Amino acid sequence: MTFSIVARSAGPDPETASWGVAVASKFLAVGSAVPAAVAQVGAIATQAHANVAYKGLALAHLDEGATAEVALQRLLEEDEGRDHRQVGIVDVEGNAASHTGSACLDWAGSVTGDGYAIQGNILTGEEVVSAMEAAFLASDPEAPLAQRLLAALEAGDRAGGDSRGRQSAAVLVVREGAGYGGMDDIEVDLRVDDHATPVEELQRLLGLNDLYLTASTEEEKVPMTPELREELEGIARAAGHRDLEGWVGAENYEMRVAEDLSWVDRRILAIARGEEAAQ
């Protein structure tokens, strides 16, 4: 009842590697059941007649040093319902493993490669996972993992996706220190629980996530000169805020403006000046 991709994206520095899952289904709130991931540990998708206990168990096995294949074997050997399960796992090094139980409903199957596992069941056909793999491999390996996962999910959706239709989609990506304020590892955690075009809606939400919940890069930071500070203070007060700091907090721009107001993100500056919409 689901198609998903589990993947690792290393980037130029292994310390900044990301792990993630993207999933779509004709199932309410698929993001509540299928994905799980921990930075510097790995990621898993559990689906078909999903055993949600797999999430914690798999991550525990991976955290103890098991490879994706070993973690998968341990899950299956302890589960009498293994023939009804579908699972994809990627470990800390990017090794991938996938399982499709013999009792999963057609079409069901998977494909794995270096750093990714793609799987689906009750699909329109094998072309769904093939399209997802092609899109993932064609994506820029240095692009944010969430974008690459969504490219694969969109390709699977266009290829037919879930044979029963569309309802929900989700993307979860983790990276060390990537969370709000740098306090956890959640880089992206978005869900569309019930929607006519959930994958398309998920892409829209990812754009908002980038604006509000992603820290500015050094290239995006504009130094706050006295002149710029005066300009932004005027814009903030004209909009009804007490001052610039109040505007930042009220508009949820904490990840895009320095706490000490020493810099402002160039995109936030464009929004303030009315040169770009905030979506």
Is the Cβ–Cβ distance between 23 and 47 less than 8 Å?
yes
Same-domain check for residues 54 and 171:
yes
Is there a domain that residue 277 lies in? Answer: no
Same-domain check for residues 132 and 204:
yes
d(CA 222, CA 217): 10
| Residue 266 belongs to domain spanning | 218-272
Same-domain check for residues 248 and 114:
no
158: CATH: 3.60.20.10
Same-domain check for residues 239 and 107:
no
d(CA 249, CA 76): 48
Same-domain check for residues 95 and 60:
yes
Is there a domain that residue 9 lies in? Answer: yes
Confidence (pLDDT) at 182 = 84
Same-domain check for residues 144 and 223:
no
Confidence (pLDDT) at 11 = 63
3-class secondary structure, 266: helix
Question: Over 19-71, what HEC string results?
Answer: EEEEEEECCCCHHHCCEEEECCCEEEEEEECCCCHHHHHHHHHHHCCCCHHHH
The residue out of 213, 234, 258 marking a domain boundary is: 213
Reference 67, options 40, 44, 95; nearest CA is 95
Same-domain check for residues 267 and 145:
no
Confidence (pLDDT) at 225 = 97
Same-domain check for residues 105 and 231:
no
Residue carrying the six token digits 């040169």: 275
Same-domain check for residues 203 and 240:
no
Confidence (pLDDT) at 13 = 65
Is there a domain that residue 168 lies in? Answer: yes
Is the Cβ–Cβ distance between 140 and 131 less than 8 Å?
no
Is there a domain that residue 175 lies in? Answer: yes
Is there a domain that residue 279 lies in? Answer: no
Is there a domain that residue 248 lies in? Answer: yes
Is there a domain that residue 278 lies in? Answer: no
Q: What is the DSSP letter of 206?
A: H
Q: Give Cβ neighbours of residue 218 (< 8 Å, ≥ 6 apart).
A: none
Same-domain check for residues 91 and 194:
yes
Same-domain check for residues 205 and 225:
no
Confidence (pLDDT) at 23 = 98
pTM, full prediction: 0.92
d(CA 60, CA 42): 10
Question: Over 211-252, what HEC string results?
Answer: HHHCCCCHHHEEECCHHHHHHHHHHHHHCCCCCHHHHHHHCC
Confidence (pLDDT) at 130 = 98
Is there a domain that residue 163 lies in? Answer: yes
Q: What's the total number of domains in the chain? A: 2
Confidence (pLDDT) at 271 = 95
Confidence (pLDDT) at 138 = 97
d(CA 256, CA 246): 14
Confidence (pLDDT) at 276 = 77
Chunked in runs of 10, what are the mean pLDDT values of the chain (279 residues)? 92 80 98 97 97 98 98 97 98 97 97 97 98 97 95 98 96 93 92 98 96 93 97 96 96 94 96 83
Same-domain check for residues 174 and 51:
yes
